[in-house]
Structure 1
Amino acid sequence: MSPTEDSNKLQFKGANPGAVQYGNFINYYQFHPPDDRVKLLPKNIWITGTACIALDIGCNAGNLTLALKEFLMENVSKDTSILGIDIDPALIKRAEELISKNTSFKCLDIMDEINRKLLISNYLTSFNVNKFSILFCFSTTMWIHLNHGDVGLKSFLQYICSIAEIVVVEPQPWKCYKTAVKRMKGTNFTFPEFSKLKFRESIESDIENILIKDCCMLKINESERTKWERKLLIFKHKI
């Protein structure tokens, strides 16, 4: 695929900035302030005292990534480093304007197995660790599911559990899928996997079951729902 084709896939469709294929919304944090999510994170469940190496998948323009780093420095370890990744290079360019000490942003399609292995491996190696202390995945699972199907979603969840000690995930409920599909009406694009999905109305429970049964994780916290009807689920590896 040429760079032009790649760029076209990342643009919103028609005249609707909400009609995007990968959730790479412009000015996303004007509508979803980072503090609305950070305040849902518990303060007393983390392993403290040692260095904290964190990953934020689908970081958009980086505002939430920086808020997460501040939270981790206050509640986990003052020695915190965080990497934010996003599929959209334009958003990463914005994020880099906010860059601060021990904060990095990289453009990466997390479903690109070759490039993710190289980038993630190099980042972890630079800290002489094998896994991230904490991995954040806010409102990203739906976009992976819509573009890569049930198999892609399951493989993604298995992958993130393999590279992190603690996983924080915010799944989009099924009504968000229907909204995403509806926004594409009137454009020339449809999500090719949507009609094939078997994980549907119970998607939040399906994701939780995959993490617990297939990834051998233990759920240690569940937040109340946000005003946009989503909740944070936190998992760690079983001992």
Structure 2
Amino acid sequence: MVDKIVEISRTTAAPENLSIDTLTSDDTMENSEKLVAINQPSTDQDNGKPNNLKKSRKREKKYKPKFIHGNYNRYYGYRNKPGSGEEDIRLLSFKREWFNSKDVLDVGCNVGHVTMTIAKRFLPKRMVGLDIDSNLISTARKNIKYYIDAKKENYVDVSESENVVHVPCSANGESSPINSSMFNDASVSFPENLSFKQGNYVLNNSKQLSLVQEEFDTILALSVTKWIHLNNGDAGIKMFFQRIFRHLRPGGRLILEPQPWTSYKKRKNLTLTIQNNFQNINLKPEQFQRYLLDVVGFSKCELIDVVHHKSKGFRRPIQMYTKC
């Protein structure tokens, strides 16, 4: 199944939506596709060859997207062997009771493989996949059909509705609902329980935290903290954790897979903003647990697993924080 999944072309497609919810700084523009401007070629009067066209093509080949938010278009190809049909090994550590008949949010869902597997296997009442990259969300929506059984072949995708998700507050402080009305039936089945939404989960300022309502029973943040931290600094990662806590209902769970500090160093020079944030980070990943328990307010932390991935870089602890 995995080898059939739709992949994204990163060379020509412009971002579908550059709303304030998606772009929080000028540097975020680097996350979008930069189209190489090819001017009308000038003709060499001596030989008639289009010189400008050749130069433009050369520049286009040299350009490589930086993926400054970790929004790799082939991320699951890195984690799982392409064409092998292997599912994400992290799923083996997840328990049905964390998701079944619950409202679940997956922050940084990429093209949605983990999101869709949870929605189909564990049957949450509502499963929302959120990512900052519009191209990844577009691909996730297209990938739904590869997870649908034959009996669901007439499924109509509703995830592109404007009011599908209660996510990031806009600059004017108004929240944009994660529409729960379409998921009122507790017995809803896959894929009717699934939607994808583009948005930046990090709020614009701490004042907007007061607008966040208890809405989810489980929130996943798998391998996203490094990118939030590098792009938004200590203030951003703290606001990220605080928003999750406010978004969870009593008894709710945060399933967290933080990247180690050593992996930050490999990406510290992607942009000037990231360089500056990296130099000023005081809250290191090994301090997240103490911050989440002592400051944010989670009552306990449990180690779910340290995934034994074939690649050493993906052998990261998965933790579960519970809100009392």
Superposition TM-score, scaled by structure 2 size: 0.58
Q: Which runs of 5+ in 1 are unaligned?
A: 74-78, 125-129
2:199 corresponds to 1:108? yes
Pair 1:21–1:80, CA change in 2 (3 A): same
2:112 corresponds to 1:62? yes
- Alpha-carbon distance in 2 for matches of 1:47, 1:225: 20
User: Which of 95, 100, 103 is the aligned partner of 1:53?
Assistant: 103
2:131 corresponds to 1:86? yes
Is the 2:306–2:315 contact (alpha carbons within 8 Å) kept by the matching residues of 1? no
Match of 1:179 in 2: 266
2:246 corresponds to 1:162? yes
CA shift for structure 1 position 35: 2.2
- Alpha-carbon distance in 2 for matches of 1:6, 1:146: 12
- Alpha-carbon distance in 1 for matches of 2:121, 2:63: 37
Match of 1:224 in 2: 306
AA paired with 1:158?
Q
2:206 corresponds to 1:206? no
Q: Select between 221-230 and 209-218 the one with higher mean Cα deviation.
A: 221-230
Is the 2:222–2:257 contact (alpha carbons within 8 Å) kept by the matching residues of 1? yes
Is the 1:158–1:214 contact (alpha carbons within 8 Å) kept by the matching residues of 2? no
AA paired with 2:222?
F
- Alpha-carbon distance in 1 for matches of 2:245, 2:72: 26
- Alpha-carbon distance in 2 for matches of 1:208, 1:194: 20
AA paired with 1:178?
K
Aligned length, in residue pairs: 211
- Alpha-carbon distance in 2 for matches of 1:45, 1:221: 17
**Runs of at least 4 residues off by over 6 Å:** 4-7
Is the 1:221–1:235 contact (alpha carbons within 8 Å) kept by the matching residues of 2? no
Q: Identity across aligned pairs (percent)? A: 27
2:184 corresponds to 1:137? no
CA shift for structure 1 position 151: 1.5
Match of 1:76 in 2: none
Q: Structure 1, residues 81-126: CA drift from partner, whole Å, max 9, x if none?
A: 2000100001110011123321100100111459xx7xx97xx8xx
- 1:180 match: secondary structure: coil
Superposition TM-score, scaled by structure 1 size: 0.76
AA paired with 1:55?
L
- Alpha-carbon distance in 1 for matches of 2:283, 2:258: 12
Compute the RMSD of aligned alpha carbons: 3.0
2:77 corresponds to 1:30? yes
- 2:217 match: secondary structure: strand
- Alpha-carbon distance in 2 for matches of 1:45, 1:198: 36
Pair 1:176–1:64, CA change in 2 (3 A): same
Is the 2:203–2:240 contact (alpha carbons within 8 Å) kept by the matching residues of 1? no
- 1:193 match: secondary structure: helix
Is the 1:72–1:80 contact (alpha carbons within 8 Å) kept by the matching residues of 2? no
- 1:137 match: secondary structure: strand
- 1:97 match: secondary structure: helix
- Alpha-carbon distance in 2 for matches of 1:12, 1:179: 22
- Alpha-carbon distance in 2 for matches of 1:210, 1:188: 27
- Alpha-carbon distance in 2 for matches of 1:61, 1:191: 27
AA paired with 1:61?
V
CA shift for structure 1 position 188: 7.6
Match of 1:21 in 2: 68
- Alpha-carbon distance in 2 for matches of 1:216, 1:62: 29
- Alpha-carbon distance in 2 for matches of 1:54, 1:22: 22
- 2:104 match: secondary structure: strand
- Alpha-carbon distance in 1 for matches of 2:240, 2:272: 27
Pair 1:146–1:94, CA change in 2 (3 A): same
CA shift for structure 1 position 47: 8.0
